[in-house]
C-alpha cells in the first residue's frame, strides 16, 4: 500500500497575457501545507475507485504506466474549482500513488500533459514536485492557437525561479460561499478572449513588481513587502480579466480583499486563480488576528464561508509506503 499526500496551491496570476510579447502566460504561485489531497493505492488486476474524478485520473495513470489496474482510495480532497488547484493536485497525486504502488517513478513533469494538466501554468506541477514559491517561463507566444490543443500535445512550462518561503510566514485563506471558479471549456473560452484583448503594457508593470519586489522580499524574509507585491500582481492581472469576471476581482472577492487589507495583520490580499478563494499574507504571530479579520470581512460582506490558516510548503508531495 502507498499513500501520497500533498497540499493546495495558490495561484497569484500570470506574467503576460498579451500576444504582443515573446512569451505568453508565465504563472506564479506558492505551495501550501493545507488543505490537503491524500490518496491510497494498491496494485490490482482491475481499476477500483469510488471517487468519480479520481477514477478517471487513475484510468489515465494506468494507461500511462502500462499497469493492469489499481485499488484506489481517496482519503481527502480539495474543494473543487475554488482556486486551490484541486484538479491538478488530485490528478498528480493519483498518478504518483499508482506509480509508487508498482515501484515506478511517476515522471510528474513529463506525464502531466497526458492527464490534461500543466497546459497554461506550470505552478501546480512544480508545487507538487518541490513546493515553495515558483515562477514558470510560460510558452512561446507563436504557439498560441484559438483552438485548445488536444490532451498531451503540450509540455509543462519550465520553472525559471523557485524560492523556499520563510517558515514563519502564513497564508490566511477565505473560501466564501459563492459560485465555483471557471474550469474546463468555460475557462478555455474566457482565457482565449482575455489573451486576444490583453493590454501589453500591464505585463511590463508585472515584471517590475515580480523582479524588484516579490522575489527580493522572499530573499530578505520581508512578508510585508511580499504580500503587497503579490497583491499588486493580482490587481494587475485583474485588469486583464475585468470584462470576463465583472471587475478586477470576481464578486464578492473585491469587497473581502478591501476589508482584509485594512488590517495591519494582513500584508496584502488577493484572489487565487479564478477564485472565489481569497488569500492574505501574514505571519505565525499574527495569524490568529488575521483569521478574526477575515471572518469579520465575511460578516461585513454578508457572505458565509470558511477561514483557515495555511503554512507554506517547501517540499514536494509526501509518499508513505513503497518507494
pLDDT tens, residue by residue, 49-61 = 999 999 999 999 9
pLDDT at residue 226, rounded to an integer: 98
d(CA 11, CA 160): 16
pLDDT at residue 323, rounded to an integer: 52
**Predicted confidence (pLDDT) at residue 145 exceeds the cutoff of 90:** no
**Predicted confidence (pLDDT) at residue 256 exceeds the cutoff of 90:** yes
Average of per-residue pLDDT across 256-269: 98
Q: Where are the beta strands (DSSP E) in 67-187?
A: 70-76, 133-136, 139-140, 159-163, 169-176
Per-position DSSP letters for 122-146, written without gaps between them? SHHHHHHHT-SEEEE--EEGGG--S
The grid coordinates listed for 56 are 478517471
Query: b/e map of 49-82 (b: 16 or more CB within 10 Å)?
Result: bebebbbbbbbbbbebbebebbbbbbeebbeebb
Average of per-residue pLDDT across 129-143: 96
**Predicted confidence (pLDDT) at residue 64 exceeds the cutoff of 90:** yes
> What's the total number of domains in the chain?
1
**Predicted confidence (pLDDT) at residue 185 exceeds the cutoff of 90:** no
**Predicted confidence (pLDDT) at residue 63 exceeds the cutoff of 90:** yes
The grid coordinates listed for 80 are 473543487
**Predicted confidence (pLDDT) at residue 276 exceeds the cutoff of 80:** yes
**Predicted confidence (pLDDT) at residue 182 exceeds the cutoff of 80:** no
Residues 66-103: pLDDT tens digits?
999 999 999 999 999 999 999 999 999 999 999 999 99
**Residue 31 near residue 171 (C-beta atoms within 8 A):** no
pLDDT at residue 154, rounded to an integer: 83
d(CA 156, CA 291): 35
pLDDT at residue 194, rounded to an integer: 93
Nearest one of 217, 24, 114, 238 to 125, comparing CA atoms:
114
**Predicted confidence (pLDDT) at residue 322 exceeds the cutoff of 70:** no
The pLDDT confidence band at residue 146, using thresholds 50, 70 and 90, is: confident
**Predicted confidence (pLDDT) at residue 15 exceeds the cutoff of 70:** yes
CATH assignment at residue 229: 3.30.230.120
> Grid coordinates 506550470 are at which residue?
122
Per-position DSSP letters for 11-66, written without gaps between them? EEEEEE--TTSSEEEEEEEEEEEEEEEEEEEEE-SSEE-S-HHHHHHHHHHHHHHT
Question: Which of 5-9, 82-86, 185-189, 245-249 has the least mean pLDDT?
Answer: 185-189
* Percent of the chain at pLDDT exceeding 90: 89
pLDDT at residue 261, rounded to an integer: 97
For 93, the domain range is: 2-321
Average of per-residue pLDDT across 117-140: 97
Average of per-residue pLDDT across 275-299: 98
Nearest one of 181, 300, 171, 172 to 251, comparing CA atoms:
181
- How many Cβ atoms from other residues are within 10 Å of residue 279's Cβ? 30
pLDDT at residue 4, rounded to an integer: 98
Cα–chain center distance at 200: 24
Amino acid at each position: 500500500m502507498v499513500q501520497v499526500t500533498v497540499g493546495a496551491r495558490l495561484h497569484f496570476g500570470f506574467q503576460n497575457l498579451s500576444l504582443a510579447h515573446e512569451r505568453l502566460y508565465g504563472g506564479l504561485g506558492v505551495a501550501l501545507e493545507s488543505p490537503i489531497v491524500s490518496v491510497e493505492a494498491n496494485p490490482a488486476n482491475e481499476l477500483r475507485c469510488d471517487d468519480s474524478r479520481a477514477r478517471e485520473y487513475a484510468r489515465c495513470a494506468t494507461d500511462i504506466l502500462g499497469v493492469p489496474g489499481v485499488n484506489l482510495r481517496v482519503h481527502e480532497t480539495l474543494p473543487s474549482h475554488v482556486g486551490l488547484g484541486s484538479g491538478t493536485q488530485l490528478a498528480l497525486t493519483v498518478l504518483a500513488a499508482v506509480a509508487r504502488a508498482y515501484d515506478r517513478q511517476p515522471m510528474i513533469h513529463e506525464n502531466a500533459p497526458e492527464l490534461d494538466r500543466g497546459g497554461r501554468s506550470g505552478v501546480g506541477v512544480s508545487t507538487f514536485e518541490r513546493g515553495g514559491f515558483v515562477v514558470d517561463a510560460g510558452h512561446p507566444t507563436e504557439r498560441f492557437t484559438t483552438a485548445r490543443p488536444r490532451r498531451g500535445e503540450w509540455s509543462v512550462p519550465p520553472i525559471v525561479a523557485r524560492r523556499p518561503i520563510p517558515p514563519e510566514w502564513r497564508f490566511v485563506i477565505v473560501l466564501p460561499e459563492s459560485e465555483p471558479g471557471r474550469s474546463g471549456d468555460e475557462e478555455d473560452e474566457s482565457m482565449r478572449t482575455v489573451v486576444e484583448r490583453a493590454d501589453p503594457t500591464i505585463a511590463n508593470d508585472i515584471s517590475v513588481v515580480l523582479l524588484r519586489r516579490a522575489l527580493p522580499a522572499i530573499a530578505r524574509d520581508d512578508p510585508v513587502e511580499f504580500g503587497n507585491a503579490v497583491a499588486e500582481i493580482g490587481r494587475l492581472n485583474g485588469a486583464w480579466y475585468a470584462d470576463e469576471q465583472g471587475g478586477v476581482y470576481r464578486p464578492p472577492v473585491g469587497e473581502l480583499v478591501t476589508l482584509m487589507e485594512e488590517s495591519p495583520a494582513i500584508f496584502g490580499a488577493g484572489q487565487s486563480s479564478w477564485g472565489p478563494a481569497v488569500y492574505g499574507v501574514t505571519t505565525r504571530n499574527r495569524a490568529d488576528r488575521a483569521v478574526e479579520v477575515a471572518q469579520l470581512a465575511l460578516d461585513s460582506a454578508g457572505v458565509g464561508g470558511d477561514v483557515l490558516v495555511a503554512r507554506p510548503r517547501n517540499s514536494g508531495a509526501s509518499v508513505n509506503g513503497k518507494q
